[in-house]
Amino acid sequence: SKDFVDGEDGTSGSKRSLKWFMRWVAEEYGQDQADKMWGRISGVCVKLLIAGLAQLVREYDAVWPLSRRDNTPSQCFELLGID
């Protein structure tokens, strides 16, 4: 967007860090509400991983068939990002 403002320190601009946001929630609504919100965010992340688990297992099995797993010194893994 032409209105995007880059805030290099994570406390200003169009994007904020998660740390900043959680601190702001705690200041505005109290630490109990921030903790509750963090719990709900964590729950959504877990549910997202559970929803994609079957696909991840299929991909893993395609790359590392059961017959090759014991003979291979290193195996790949997949990093999942949620934002």
Cβ pair 13, 6 in contact under 8 A: yes
pLDDT at 63 over 70: yes
Predicted local confidence at residue 1, as pLDDT: 64
pLDDT at 76 over 80: no
CB count in 10 Å sphere of residue 60: 15
CA gap 5, 12 in Å, rounded: 8
Residue position matching structure tokens 């946001």: 21
Which value, to the nearest 10 degrees, does the dihedral of the CA atoms of residues 26, 31, 37, 39 take?
A: 140
- Per-residue pLDDT of 16-25, as tens digits, reads 788 989 999 9
CA–centroid distance for 36 within its chain: 18
- Per-residue pLDDT of 22-61, as tens digits, reads 999 999 999 999 999 999 999 999 999 899 899 988 887 8
Predicted local confidence at residue 61, as pLDDT: 80
Predicted local confidence at residue 73, as pLDDT: 58
